[in-house]
Amino acid sequence: MIEVFESIINSYSNESITTVAIVAVLLMVTILSIYEFFVYRFVSHRSFYNKSFNITIAILPFFIATIIMCLQSNIIITLGTIGALAIIRFRTAVKDPVDMLYLLWSVFIGIICGCQLFEAGVLTSVVVTIVLIILEHINFGRKSFVLIVRSNEDVENDLANLFKSKKISHRFKSRNYSSKGFDYAIELTYKNIKELNEELSKNERISKYSIIEYDADDIV
């Protein structure tokens, strides 16, 4: 048992974290997080792209990596951090994932400053701020919309041909048929909504249509 305890204590022999180690960890996290950011954007199977959630999953590794690095420096810090994280409870539902990110940031600052690892806290906060600004201003040129179309005739083929000619990513989510006409709800992603509006207005068979922009988890 004595050898086991000695092995555990010796594993926490790195009491000081060098600036080079912090910068190296943050640099690698930056590379892999940005890679994950782009992978989620283009590979996600969600109907609509949620940029807030994507930013959140790209920033979380910065805080987790720094906390884990600090836990390796001292067994007392490890036990204290586990205790601090154990008492955290979120009673209020957080709607925006980015708000949850700032809550974790606050927890991170409290833990790091409480451990007196000020350099790690400052460097991580600065890098996170820079990455957040970069990711927030990345624009892929396409937005998600919901198109509601009402017509007196079946215009599904007309819409499908229009989307195909304009290379618009789309999916028919609902088709309602009644004695009064036809109603379609279509998810689509396109960069030039004005051009789409002009094309739809040319179709005399469409009596009414609405284009609703999708932003995060809300319909604007």
Q: What is the pTM of this model?
A: 0.58
Tokens 């092995």, located at residue: 7
Residues 82 and 114 both lie in one domain: yes
Residues 160 and 72 both lie in one domain: no
Residues 98 and 153 both lie in one domain: no
Lowest mean pLDDT among 81-85, 94-98, 108-112: 81-85
Domain boundary among 90, 117, 136: 136
Number of domains in the chain: 2
Residues 45 and 72 both lie in one domain: yes
Identify the band that residue 69 occupies on the pLDDT scale cut at 50, 70 and 90. confident
Residues 104 and 187 both lie in one domain: no
Summary mean pLDDT of the chain: 76
Identify the band that residue 100 occupies on the pLDDT scale cut at 50, 70 and 90. confident
Residues 129 and 107 both lie in one domain: yes
* Continuous H helices in the chain: 2-10, 19-43, 51-71, 75-86, 97-114, 118-136, 156-165, 193-202
Q: Residue 152: give the domain boundaries.
A: 143-219
Residues 70 and 161 both lie in one domain: no
Domain boundary among 136, 158, 192: 136
Residues 205 and 104 both lie in one domain: no
**3-class SS at 29?**
helix
Crossing angle of the two packed helices 118-136 and 51-71, in degrees rounded to 10: 160
Give every CB contact of residue 194 below 8 A, 6+ residues apart in sequence.
none
| CATH (domain of 173) | 3.30.70.260
Residue 46, pLDDT > 70, answer: no
**3-class SS at 155?**
coil
73-95 pLDDT per residue, tens: 666 666 666 666 665 665 656 66
pLDDT of 73? 66
Residues 11 and 120 both lie in one domain: yes
Residues 102 and 180 both lie in one domain: no
Q: What is the sign, positive or negative, of the torsion defined by CA atoms of 179, 180, 184, 185?
A: negative
Residues 130 and 157 both lie in one domain: no
